[in-house]
A and B are shown apart, each in its own frame.
Chain A
Amino acid sequence: MAQISINHLFKRFGQDEVIKDISLEFEEGEFIVLVGPSGCGKSTLLRMIAGLESISSGEIYMDGKRMNDLPPKARDIAMVFQSYALYPHMDVARNMGFSMEIQGKNNDARQTQVGDAAGILGLKKLLARLPRTLSGGQRQRVAMGRAMVRNPSAFLFDEPLSNLDAALRVEMRLEIAKLHKRLATTMVYVTHDQVEALTLADRIVVLDHGIVQQIGTPMELYETPANLFVARFIGSPTMNLIDVRIQQGQLSIAHAQNTIDLPELPGQDAARHLGIRPEHVQPVASGKGHLQGTVEVVERLGSDSFIYVQVEGAGQLLARSSGNTSLQADQPVGLTLDPTHLHLFDMQGQALV
């Protein structure tokens, strides 16, 4: 188990600055997810922690020990790659025991350790197989087993599930959660999938353009996004955003005559964007509620219905109601917004408290 500190970290490729002044503290045994769109620097950050990428400036500490100039082998970290990166010419057992082979551990110790990890991951029957004869999910398990055998003080995962199909992804996600519970080792996990982030993380770090946008527990990020980027990125379906204006406590939609009659908005005159999650928008009878619009599309998922409503001046809003709805396309409808779940953002996209 390890505690990891990152201090004012920078990474430059020539003129490009891909990591910009990142400082983070990961506690012992914590499951941290680095999330962001592609190109946000999350994988680079992970590789810098691993020692596979050099540090332009700043420091990385593990348990108080400076890691900057240590090669990967000296960091006591295991990594699971998106491509699995299994050694094609070695069977499963040798793949998993390779780190011990390099350390010169004897055969018995290797077999015991590999056997233990294989038992946990259900790989016992596959030990003599070559990677190319395995399915995607099995390869993923072997890659995790290889990391486990090392018994490292921290695990790094680089988008480990993105090469799997949807069903398998859910299954492996659960396995990783179980693995973390069992091993209680510090894990740093990179993904672009916010569902993985929300379901796995103790804390999530949202990155964009090499800058930390917000750090917090999944529910903190979901309920109080620090800025528009996080608000858009976290949550599926995404948060509704409406351009608004507040004058004398009166909220009005920017490009229409509509005013939204919501009480208690003192001192928020700077607000320019109103965010509200689909589950906090409820369809009501036409003529009632805060906004009036027309139903465009209804998506019925059984457990929920997604109702896409076109509102003049505000664009398309999504309402989510549980169960099946009787609403039909092209029907006029009113929408109520839950006033306790409004998110207001200023011109720069920063959240207003």
Chain B
Amino acid sequence: MKGLLTTGRYLAVLGYVLFALFPLYWLFKIAITPEKLIYTEGTALWPKFTTLDNFRQVIFYSDFMVYFKNSVYVSLGTAAITTVIAAAAGYAFSRFQFRGKTLVVILLLITQMFPLLMIIAPIYKIVAGLGLLNTLTSLIVVYTAFNVPFATFLMQSFFDGIPKDLDDAAMMDGCTRLQALRKVILPLTLPGLAATLGFIFTAAWSELLFALMLINSNASMTFPVGLLTFVSKFSVDWGQMMAAGILALVPSCLFFIFIQRYLVKGLTAGAIKG
């Protein structure tokens, strides 16, 4: 009976994993299918012939590498700046009482209330006024502005999870507040920082709406906008588009592999409480 239950559980998980991974599989399958087979083979699960032509095309004969580089720059920049600001703000919210704290929290929440579509026009005007249209800087600024509130609350909850006694103990041991933060609190917040970095990186990496509005020169396009260039007026180059999609997954995967050990620590954070 117990064995049956375990088997059932594994089957359910397997079913879910298949369901979740199937689109990725399809992405991969189309990417390695020669162009002439895409329409003739229909929905066959594996093409008769496979090819890496699509990848070759994307990497060597399109602007994909430029988009890719731009995206890495924007995403890393956004993730780094947002996390630094959010960590500082989150620490302040968690540890200090100050005048206007509630007001700041409310304002941060209010920024999250508006649908992005609604504020596209004003953002465009502001960015244009600053002369930042078609620059990657504009994207970093806008993404950072959007992500800081959520990231701040996220970081605050991580700081809240660390007992205040540890700050006090460190200060009794001779630390200034900054030293206590650096030597005791921050090392314990690494999982939180990693989670925030990962979250913001992914959000910036896949953002399309603002990138589309604020950038129209090929040289400053990020990857999601660049993907659209595979759609022309008369045809869609599915094979290359899918190949580009696969390549776009690579940095996200690398990034998560890199921060994974901190994330896992974050999942077991309860165990480290003093």
- Enumerate chain A interface residues (CB-CB to B < 8 A): 47, 50-52, 71-73, 77-79, 81-89, 98-99, 102-103, 131-132, 139, 146, 150
Residues of A within 8 A of B173 (CB): 73, 98-99, 102, 146, 150
Q: Contact at B272–A88, with CB atoms within 8 Å?
A: yes
Q: Contact at B273–A85, with CB atoms within 8 Å?
A: no
Chain B residue at smallest Cβ distance from A72: B171
Chain A residue at smallest Cβ distance from B184: A87
Q: Contact at A50–B172, with CB atoms within 8 Å?
A: yes
Q: Contact at B272–A102, with CB atoms within 8 Å?
A: no
Chain B contact patch, size range:
20 to 34
* Binary contact readout B170-200 vs A (1 if CB under 8 angstroms, 0 otherwise): 1111111001000110011000000000000
Residues of B within 8 A of A103 (CB): 174
Report the bound CA distance from A131 to B163 in whole Å.
Answer: 15
Q: Count chain A CB atoms within 10 A of each CB in B165, B172, B175, B183 and give the residue with the most.
A: B172
B168 at the interface (CB under 8 A from A): yes
Report the bound CA distance from A42 to B176 in whole Å.
Answer: 25
Within the complex, the shortest CB–CB distance from A73 to chain B, in Å, comes to 4
Report the bound CA distance from A50 to B168 in whole Å.
Answer: 10
Residues of B within 8 A of A47 (CB): 168
Chain B residue at smallest Cβ distance from A131: B274
Residues of A within 8 A of B184 (CB): 87
Within the complex, the shortest CB–CB distance from A74 to chain B, in Å, comes to 9
Q: A71 touches which one: B165, B169, B171 (CB < 8 A)?
A: B171
Q: Contact at A79–B176, with CB atoms within 8 Å?
A: no
Chain A residue at smallest Cβ distance from B179: A102
Q: A86 touches which one: B175, B176, B274 (CB < 8 A)?
A: B274
Report the bound CA distance from A94 to B188 in whole Å.
Answer: 15
List CB contacts (< 8 Å) of B133-164 with chain A.
Answer: 163
Chain B residue at smallest Cβ distance from A87: B184
B11 at the interface (CB under 8 A from A): no
Within the complex, the shortest CB–CB distance from A89 to chain B, in Å, comes to 5
Q: A79 touches which one: B166, B168, B188 (CB < 8 A)?
A: B168
Q: Count chain B CB atoms within 10 A of each CB in A51, A87, A150 and give the residue with the most.
A: A87
Q: B169 touches which one: A81, A89, A132, A139 (CB < 8 A)?
A: A81
Report the bound CA distance from A161 to B179 in whole Å.
Answer: 29
Q: Contact at A84–B274, with CB atoms within 8 Å?
A: yes
Residues of A within 8 A of B174 (CB): 73, 99, 102-103, 150
Residues of B within 8 A of A81 (CB): 165, 168-169
Q: Contact at A89–B165, with CB atoms within 8 Å?
A: no
Q: Contact at A89–B187, with CB atoms within 8 Å?
A: yes
Residues of A within 8 A of B188 (CB): 88-89
Report the bound CA distance from A144 to B160 in whole Å.
Answer: 26
Chain A residue at smallest Cβ distance from B169: A85
Residues of B within 8 A of A78 (CB): 172
Within the complex, the shortest CB–CB distance from A208 to chain B, in Å, comes to 25
Report the bound CA distance from A150 to B171 in whole Å.
Answer: 13
Within the complex, the shortest CB–CB distance from B170 to chain A, in Å, comes to 8
List CB contacts (< 8 Å) of B41-91 with chain A.
Answer: none
Apart from A73-B173, A79-B172, A85-B168: 6 A-B pairs, beta carbons within 8 A: A71-B171, A73-B171, A85-B166, A86-B169, A86-B274, A88-B274
21 A-B pairs whose Cβ atoms sit less than 8 Å apart in the complex: A52-B171, A71-B171, A72-B172, A73-B171, A73-B173, A73-B176, A81-B165, A81-B168, A82-B165, A83-B274, A85-B163, A85-B168, A85-B169, A85-B274, A87-B170, A87-B274, A88-B273, A103-B174, A132-B272, A139-B274, A146-B169
Residues of A within 8 A of B271 (CB): 132
Within the complex, the shortest CB–CB distance from A71 to chain B, in Å, comes to 7
Residues of B within 8 A of A86 (CB): 169, 274
Chain B residue at smallest Cβ distance from A79: B172
Q: Contact at B274–A79, with CB atoms within 8 Å?
A: no
Residues of B within 8 A of A79 (CB): 168-169, 172
Q: Contact at A87–B166, with CB atoms within 8 Å?
A: yes
Within the complex, the shortest CB–CB distance from B163 to chain A, in Å, comes to 6
Report the bound CA distance from A50 to B174 in whole Å.
Answer: 12
Chain B residue at smallest Cβ distance from A158: B165
Q: Count chain A CB atoms within 10 A of each CB in B169, B170, B271 and give the residue with the most.
A: B169
Report the bound CA distance from A52 to B95 in whole Å.
Answer: 13
Q: Count chain A CB atoms within 10 A of each CB in B165, B173, B271 and give the residue with the most.
A: B173
Q: Count chain B CB atoms within 10 A of each CB in A50, A71, A77, A85 and give the residue with the most.
A: A85
Chain B residue at smallest Cβ distance from A102: B174
Known A-B contacts A88-B273, A89-B188; the reply to A77 vs B165 at CB < 8 A is no
Chain A residue at smallest Cβ distance from B272: A88
Chain B residue at smallest Cβ distance from A143: B169
Q: B175 touches which one: A73, A84, A146 (CB < 8 A)?
A: A73
Within the complex, the shortest CB–CB distance from A130 to chain B, in Å, comes to 9
Residues of A within 8 A of B163 (CB): 83, 85
Q: Count chain A CB atoms within 10 A of each CB in B163, B166, B170, B274 and give the residue with the most.
A: B274
Residues of A within 8 A of B175 (CB): 73, 102
